[in-house]
Structure 1
Amino acid sequence: MHFQPIEPSAGDAYLSQAEGGGAVSREPEPSTALDPFDDVFGSTPASPTEHRDAQSAAHPSDMRRLQTEHATAGYREGVTAAKDSSMQSGFDEGFSLGATIGQRAGQLLGTLEGVSDAFKGQTSEAALAAEKLLTEAHEELSTTRIVSPEYWAPDGNWTFEVKAGEGEDVLFPDVANAHPLIRKWNDIVDEHINLWKINPSILDDDTGPRLDAMADEPLISSAPPAAKKPLDW
């Protein structure tokens, strides 16, 4: 009969050591067999639902919504208060300055248009030069070119050098005359005024002749009056 060999157990090792043998005690190795119930009863990480519940307990669900609403309302109130305190004053200053610059540009264009109209119908070199000069002036003295970011900062202040004309305060006419485009065309117009012997002071005289207003007279038609027909009810 064949007997299957028996593996030495931990108890045999201890007995051998007690009897004086040189055997060394060995600790039992952990079992590497898979537990069929490990995936069912084993430890699992914390549930995400429990984590969200803990956050909800610390931060109510409507806290974020309330913060957003209050931040939006505060921003709107701040913008409204800033508009009430600074919009009107900024508009008044910008309107007055823009009107002064526009008036000066209009005077320069009007002078050049007068010179060009004096040569209307002519084909001489002076007439062509006056027409070309007027075209360039209309292009450079346009609103788009005058208020371009090249000459103005985002906050509305000018970026070119301005010197006070009279006194220590800088006035709007000083800013208008110091604008690079206005200053350039002011020199060109002065040259043509001296060239064609133009007297600009005539434009300042309000006592010149004026056309009398025509009296309103009833219109007289030469066509015979049409006979009135009775209304056909």
Structure 2
Amino acid sequence: MASNNALDDVWISDSDSHDDKLSNDINKLRENHLKSGFLDGITQAKETNLQKGFDEGFPQGALLGSQVGQLLGLLQCLDQKYGDQDESLRQDFNTIQKEVRINKVLTKGMFNEDLNLVGEHPLLAKWKPIVKSHCDKYSVHTSV
């Protein structure tokens, strides 16, 4: 009865099958370790860069969010109190809600390659005087 295992064959030389099998096993093991190390390195780099990007971008994003929130809040308060009699105020409030959504405020085109805002944000530059004019009209003192 013939054996299917090449290691059981007494006529096969040690250098033939055994070395080939060992060499294949070592190559597979090496390949698996390389893949694992590569994936670990990529994962670590992504996590490091993601955290760095968040740490660098968060203060600017928070500042923009605060400014947008202040403008929206002021117009919303004025609209609640005076919107029924002031169609211009009501229209501005409805428009600002559409224009200053997060996906429009934080668009890539507003920032340089280092993700820094260059100058004043165009939407804030547009809406600050509009909100200020409504605040002035109703004697609301603000630093907008």
- Scaled to the shorter chain, the TM-score interval is 0.5 to 0.7
Contact 2:84 2:90 in 1 (8 A): no
2:10 corresponds to:
none
Structure of higher CA gyration radius = 1
Decide whether aligned partners of structure 1 residues 98 and 80 sit closer, same or farther in structure 2, where only a CA change above 3 A counts. same
Aligned mates of 2:136, 2:64 — CA distance in 1: 24
Contact 2:111 2:118 in 1 (8 A): no
Structure 1 alignment gaps of length 5 or more: 1-56, 163-177, 202-233
Contact 2:79 2:89 in 1 (8 A): yes
Decide whether aligned partners of structure 1 residues 121 and 87 sit closer, same or farther in structure 2, where only a CA change above 3 A counts. closer
Decide whether aligned partners of structure 1 residues 101 and 92 sit closer, same or farther in structure 2, where only a CA change above 3 A counts. same
TM-score by length of 1: 0.44
Do residues 119 (structure 1) and 77 (structure 2) align? Answer: no
Match of 2:128 among 179, 182, 186: 186
**C-alpha displacement of 1:62:** 5.6
Amino acid at match of 1:128: E
Match of 1:197 among 118, 139, 142: 139
Residues 107-145 of structure 1: per-residue CA shift (max 9 Å, x gap): 0011111221222444xxxx2221111111011111111
Amino acid at match of 1:138: Q
How many aligned positions are there? 123
**C-alpha displacement of 1:148:** 2.1
Counting helix residues as a fraction of each chain, which structure ranks higher? Answer: 2
Do residues 157 (structure 1) and 115 (structure 2) align? Answer: yes
Amino acid at match of 1:107: Q
Amino acid at match of 2:115: N
TM-score by length of 2: 0.66
Do residues 136 (structure 1) and 95 (structure 2) align? Answer: yes
Decide whether aligned partners of structure 1 residues 120 and 199 sit closer, same or farther in structure 2, where only a CA change above 3 A counts. same
Aligned mates of 2:115, 2:100 — CA distance in 1: 19
Percent of pairs identical after alignment? 29
**C-alpha displacement of 1:93:** 2.5
1:49 corresponds to:
none
Decide whether aligned partners of structure 1 residues 68 and 180 sit closer, same or farther in structure 2, where only a CA change above 3 A counts. farther
Which 4+ runs in 1 deviate beyond 6 A? none
